[in-house]
Amino acid sequence: MPISTDAALHGSPHSRSSRAPVSRIPRVASLVALVVAVGACIAPASESNADPAFETTTYAPQNRPDVRGTIGAVSAGHPLAAQAGLEVLKDGGTAMDAIVAMAGVLAVTRPHMNGIGGDAFGIFYDGASGEVTALNASGRSGALATPEFFTSAGHDEIPGVGPLSVSVPGAVAGWVDAHDRYGTKPFDQLLEPAIRFARDGFAVSTRLALDFEAQGVDLNEYGRALYLPNDGAPPTVGTILRNPELAASLEAIALRKKAGFYNGPIAQTLADFVEAQGGHLRASDFANHTSTWVEPLRLDYLDHTFIVMPPSTQGPAQLALMEMSKSHDIQTMGHNSAEYLHTLIELKKLAFADRDRWIADPEKADVPIARLLDPEYLRNRATQVDPRAAAESVEPGFGDDHMATDADDRDDAGDTVYLTAVDQWGNAVSWIQSNFAGFGSGLLEPETGILLHNRGSLYTLDDGHPNQVAPEKRPYHTLSPMMALRSDGDFAFTLGTPGGDSQPQSLLQITHNMLLFGMTPQEAIEAPRFRSMSGVRVSIENRVADASLEGLMSLGHQLNVIQGWTATFGGAQMIVYDRENGVLTAAADPRREAYALAY
């Protein structure tokens, strides 16, 4: 789907002589969310005062405009990152070049959510050939990480934070490997904005200060000194936040690529830091790390082919939700009706029961993907939805004994960033990277300025479970970027969101909003969402109609109605290509600090 016909991928990725002006997006003030427990009352639905001009929708008018261009587009989890990515595209860079620049900036400007101490995944569309590839850039456990390593230290489950929650960070290797295959600009040049923001600083926003205050409880003394410097309070809004040690680490990566992180002083310093506190990582674990190019999973739904990551991610749960939705007359139910919401919530429980039972590192465990995504199996699963009552729990499939790890509440805010880019040659990238929980493991290594993630907390010690911890094994991952193609194989859109377990739920709702209910990308992202938690608990935005909330409660759902634009429901971004008109539409979620730009 080349957007411009005068160049081919990697043949001559040069700048155009003239470009359309960059769309300008108004800033939206950060809102502090109020959580309202249903029982006493339900907050009034905002759509009751909707402007008549928006009668085609079932919710309030858009918070932000759709951003449109004809040459290239980006969307990222911070305005400075989006700006860096757009500058790369306008300077003749590829979509992957823009992703590296944005990923680096996000590692500095959203440090509690992602960074060079975390993991990443990407899906790539080649605009010249139509080939789709995927990269698993997550790290593995250390060679010492046996179940006995944890039990001998007195643990009967994997700790959620601290040194035993740390696996090898894979993001840096992912940046380099994807750039080697799909980038054209010098790698060190792409990290210059990130290095500058780490060294010289950037202004603290209201949203960032609120996040630091809410999520910094597990930070070590070095992390608290940097991110909660005012006697345990965050930096004052509008002040400059600097991390010169991180700038030096980024410079080493810019100059030496993977060797700058996985070999030499940085790797040794991080390994010694973790080992001194009782963790299982050693310098050799860093040196042995590799990314893995994998075959993505595909499913045809709503006249599109949807592409997701295979295990070790929850990608199969995304496709299972779509396949099971085919067995229900979703569109006729009506957008965000009680019947519609109830059906999606109950389908989620079925998909997640299978996910929690079976998803693991396929290099170390038998993951029955073909059975999990078998259409007949999923049609039978879909019939288990009781239209009259919410299920407290459901069992996984295959008639097996129940063996699952309930992850539904472990990543409530979803401390992740999603970013996406499409360039002038029609190349597209759907990319996600994460620390997992807020501030990851809570461990900031002071010499390098690197905050280590806690993806290793997602292993289990349950004997016989596919995701049981073992040496050099990837943990189960919630990270799930997505891409969609037209039925003829041309690129249609990228889509992704932070949010841990809410990711498949949010992506399905946004997809339906656009493809079933006719919303624009920005409308689809802003429309009110639900997030099913464990059991019958459901978080839901107060912009859903009162009748729908009351209907859900009558079916046994325990609602937590949330007011405002909060991170509970992720922070989705997307880029859609309108082939007929040659227009790219980029969208970004006001629930976080995401911004979209196009030209």
Q: Decide if 335 is inside a domain.
A: no
Cα within 13 Å of Cα(582), Cβ side: 9
How many helices and strands (H and E) does the chain possess? 20, 22
DSSP for 210-260, written as a single string: HHHHHHGGG--HHHHHHHSTBTTBPPPTTSEE--HHHHHHHHHHHHHTHHH
What pLDDT score does 61 carry? 63
Report H helices in 258-335. 258-262, 265-276, 283-287, 315-325, 330-333
Q: What is the pTM of this model?
A: 0.89
Measure the CA–CA gap between 348 and 337, rounded to whole angstroms: 17
Of 363, 419, 432, 579, nearest in space to 492 by CA: 579
From 416, 420, 460, 566, active-site residue: 416
Report d(CA 37, CA 58) in Å as an integer.
Answer: 23
Residue 57 resides in a domain? no
In-domain check, residue 247: yes
Taking the C-alpha atoms of residue 541 and residue 563, their distance in angstroms, rounded to an integer, is 6
List 542's β-bridge partners, or say none.
none
For 47-84, give one letter per residue: b (16+ CB within 10 A) or e. beeeeeeeeebbbbebebebbbbbbbbbbbbbbbbbbb
Q: Is residue 337 part of a domain?
A: no
Is 253:172 a contact under the CB 8 Å cutoff?
yes
Between strands 537-541 and 558-563, the pairing is parallel
CA–centroid distance for 105 within its chain: 16
Count CB atoms within 10 A of the CB of residue 263.
15
Question: Residues 9, 174, 501, 596: what is their CA dihedral angle, to the nearest 10 degrees?
Answer: -50
SS3 of residue 273 by DSSP: helix
Q: Is residue 76 part of a domain?
A: yes
237 C-beta neighbours (distance < 10 Å), count: 14
Closest CA to 255 of 186, 179, 169: 186
Amino acid 400: pLDDT: 55
Look at residue 188 and give its three-state secondary structure.
Answer: helix
CATH of the domain at 487: 3.60.20.40
Token pair 């050693």 is at which residue?
A: 282
Buried b (16+ CB within 10 A) or exposed e, 115-129: bbbbbbbbbbbbbee
Domain count, the chain: 1
Residue 177 included in any domain: yes
| Residue 311 belongs to some domain of the structure | no
Cα separation, 189 vs 592, whole angstroms: 28
Amino acid at the residue 444: L
How does pLDDT run across 300-347, given as a tens digit for each residue? 999 999 999 999 999 999 999 999 999 999 999 999 999 999 999 999
Q: Report CA-CA distances (Å) from 582 to 62, 109, 152, 205, 446.
A: 24, 33, 61, 35, 49
Residues of the chain with pLDDT under 50: 1-59, 406-413
CB 144 within 8 A of CB 284: no
Which positions ≥6 away from 6 have C-beta within 8 Å? none
Report the C-alpha gap between 312 and 479 in whole angstroms. Answer: 9
Domain annotation covers residue 596: no
The Cα 579–Cα 596 span in angstroms is 20
pLDDT at 128: 97
Which residues span the domain enclosing 96? 70-293+409-521
Could you confirm whether 56 is annotated as catalytic? no
Helical axes 502-515 vs 338-358, angle rounded to 10°: 140
pLDDT at 63: 86
Q: Is 391 exposed, middle or buried (0-12, 13-18, 19+ CB in 10 A)?
A: middle
Q: Could you report the per-residue pLDDT of 502-553, keeping only the tens digit for each?
A: 999 999 999 999 999 999 999 999 999 999 999 999 999 999 999 999 999 9
Q: What is the DSSP letter of 122?
A: E
- pLDDT at site 300: 98
